[in-house]
Amino acid sequence: MTPPLVTPRGMHRRHFLGHLAATALGIPAAQFFSSLRANAAAGKKAHKSCIVLWMSGGPSHLDIWDLKPDSEKNGGPFRPIATSAPGVSISEHMPNTAKQMHHLNVIRSLDSKEGNHERGTYLMHTGYVPNPTVVHPGWGSSMAFEVGSRMDDFDLPHCVSINTPGQGAGFLGMSYTPFMVQNPNAPIANLAPPADVDELRLDRRLQLLSRVENDFIKQRGAQPAVDHKAVYAKTIRMMNSKYKDIFKLDNEPASVRDAYGKHSFGSGCLLARRLVEQGVTYVEVAMGGWDTHADNFDALSTRLLPELDQGMGALTADLASRGLLDDTLIVWMGEFGRTPRINPNAGRDHWPRSWSVVMGGGGMKSGQAIGATDKDGVDVADRPVGVMDLVATMTKTMGISLDTQYTSPRGRPLKIVDGGTPIPELVG
């Protein structure tokens, strides 16, 4: 079947719109999608990307990255195993990732202070605690904005969230809000227009739309009206993009799909690799089910860790073998860790005070464990790290200036990094 949106042969898209203007329609050619061009330049990535593996619900860090086999009360049943990073051991249920640890680092001394899902999610995505007077952009949206504003020819969203809505873009506007992929194993819904709407009709629709849209903006001039137009422009670009097949994982060899796993997290990791390969700046892949107030150990060993390990291990190995790892920062985190204390339901509860995150790639040093908790996993024993330190480390790795500052719509200056210091062991 011919895709319904192919530009007539030999005709540049803008040229084509110009032709339409001369028809009986009598409406000047719409400047609605004034930045619409035939195709984005393909090829090698010109900037860094980031993939965040988001463990929604709060992952039990003590059973994954910071095992306490010597703690009688808090240790739990899992055993540590050695990894490809000398001196760094992780959970026995993470064998594939263990082979990739020389590419990654564990930070075991994060104190994030927010033990509520919504607030923790906000904090870890933005670097800021929620504040009633301003909605901070997600860090991913800030990166998309920084990189995206330098790339005017890119048909895919700069910021994509898989299996999660992700964090909004706040005052950066709807066009930097993550594009959510609900199910990486299914096609993107409604990506093609109905069969009876050919390119001529689609263009006519857009011209008619642009007239209403622009008049309304002229009268009202308010942000939501401007955002609406920007999102439509982005949507049209995606519909027309030659990259729209990027979302089809069936194009991957069976061996690759099997390596990642076909569960939503594994498929999400594979889609993330495909997206950063094409130049998408920020991809978040979420995995749910981590709010293990009860039956923590069964849930981890039978369901959560096998999926996590398969996806994360395959992704790291794949990025490395394709030479993409130096340009792609990988971060593993959730909204908080879980209590050292094991509750009467064999669960662990919310714990932001001393927990672990993992990051590597993007050109940072690797194979290290940064910081430590005490014997029972309760207090930070060495090298405390704050959320803004993580944000600073990630921002520096992305090649974005730590002094980057925005002005909110209310005239308030807001920094991407506010008071944090990049972790010198990683990005010294």
Partner 1 sequence: MLQRDGRTDRRTAPFAWLALAAAAAAGALAPPPARAGDRPAGKPAAPAASAGDANFLDPLLRQAWQDAGLKPAQPARDDEFLRRAYLDILGRTPTVAEARAFLEGRAPDKRARLVEVLLDHVDFPKNFATEWTNLLIGRGRQERNVDRDALTAWLRKQFAAGRPWNEVVYDLVTASGSNKENGAVNYTIAHLEAEAVPLTSRTTRLFLGQQLQCVQCHDHPQNDWKQADFWGVNAFFRGLKVEEKRAVGADGLEKFDHVELSDAPTDAFARFDRRNGMMGVAFPRFIDGRKVEQPDRAVRRVELAKLITDPQSDLLPRAMVNRTWAHFLGRGFVNPVDDIGPHNEAALPEVFDKLTEEFRESGLDVKQLIRWITSSAAYQASSVRPGKQRPEDDLFSVMALRPMTPEQLFDSLLTATAAHRPGSGRDDAKRESWMRQFLFAFGNDEGDEATTFQGTIPQSLMMMNGDLMRDALSGKPGSFLADALDQAARQRRSPAAFMVDQLYLAALSRMPSNAERSASVRYLENNPDALPYLQDLFWALLNSNEFILIH
* Residue 167 near residue 141 (C-beta atoms within 8 A): yes
In this structure, the number of other CB atoms found within 10 A of the CB of residue 262 comes to 13
Q: How far apart are CA 173 and CA 196, in angstroms?
A: 33
Mask for 5-24, x = binds partner 1 (CB under 8 A): -------------------x
For the bound state, the minimum distance from the C-beta of residue 260 to partner 1, rounded and expressed in Å, comes to 22
Nearer to partner 1, 86 or 165 (CB): 165
For the bound state, the minimum distance from the C-beta of residue 326 to partner 1, rounded and expressed in Å, comes to 30
Establish if 219 lies at the interface with partner 1 (CB under 8 A).
yes
* The one among 239, 270, 385, 391 contacting partner 1 by CB under 8 A: 239
For the bound state, the minimum distance from the C-beta of residue 204 to partner 1, rounded and expressed in Å, comes to 5
Of 100, 110, 96, the C-alpha closest to 367 is 100
For the bound state, the minimum distance from the C-beta of residue 387 to partner 1, rounded and expressed in Å, comes to 15
Of 415, 399, 395, the C-alpha closest to 407 is 415
Establish if 235 lies at the interface with partner 1 (CB under 8 A).
yes
* Four-CA torsion 63, 326, 320, 393, nearest 10 degrees: 0
Establish if 116 lies at the interface with partner 1 (CB under 8 A).
yes
* Residue 300 near residue 93 (C-beta atoms within 8 A): yes
Establish if 103 lies at the interface with partner 1 (CB under 8 A).
no
Q: How many residues bind partner 1 (CB under 8 A)?
A: 68
* Residue 233 near residue 33 (C-beta atoms within 8 A): yes
Q: Which of residues 305-334 bind partner 1 (CB under 8 A)?
A: none
Nearer to partner 1, 89 or 177 (CB): 177
What token pair was written down for 82?
């050695």
Nearer to partner 1, 148 or 313 (CB): 148
For the bound state, the minimum distance from the C-beta of residue 79 to partner 1, rounded and expressed in Å, comes to 26
What token pair was written down for 245?
């097949």
Establish if 227 lies at the interface with partner 1 (CB under 8 A).
yes
Establish if 68 lies at the interface with partner 1 (CB under 8 A).
no
* The one among 211, 257, 375, 383 contacting partner 1 by CB under 8 A: 211
Establish if 411 lies at the interface with partner 1 (CB under 8 A).
yes
Establish if 190 lies at the interface with partner 1 (CB under 8 A).
yes
Establish if 102 lies at the interface with partner 1 (CB under 8 A).
no
Point out which span in 212-220, 251-259, 319-327, 414-422 binds partner 1 (CB under 8 A): 212-220
For the bound state, the minimum distance from the C-beta of residue 235 to partner 1, rounded and expressed in Å, comes to 4
Mask for 258-297, x = binds partner 1 (CB under 8 A): ------------------------------xx-x-x----
* The one among 10, 43, 132, 323 contacting partner 1 by CB under 8 A: 132
Establish if 28 lies at the interface with partner 1 (CB under 8 A).
no
* The one among 95, 96, 187, 216 contacting partner 1 by CB under 8 A: 216
For the bound state, the minimum distance from the C-beta of residue 400 to partner 1, rounded and expressed in Å, comes to 24
Q: How far apart are CA 359 and CA 351, in angstroms?
A: 20
Q: Which of residues 145-184 bind partner 1 (CB under 8 A)?
A: 157, 164-165, 174, 177, 179-180, 182
Query: Residue 280: which region, alpha, beta or left (left: phi > 0; alpha: psi -120 to 50)?
Result: beta
Nearer to partner 1, 182 or 405 (CB): 182
Mask for 381-400, x = binds partner 1 (CB under 8 A): --------------------
Name the residues that contact partner 1, by CB under 8 A: 24-27, 56-58, 115-119, 121, 132, 157, 164-165, 174, 177, 179-180, 182, 188-194, 201, 204-206, 208-209, 211-213, 215-217, 219-225, 227-229, 231-232, 234-235, 238-239, 288-289, 291, 293, 339, 341, 349-350, 378, 410-411
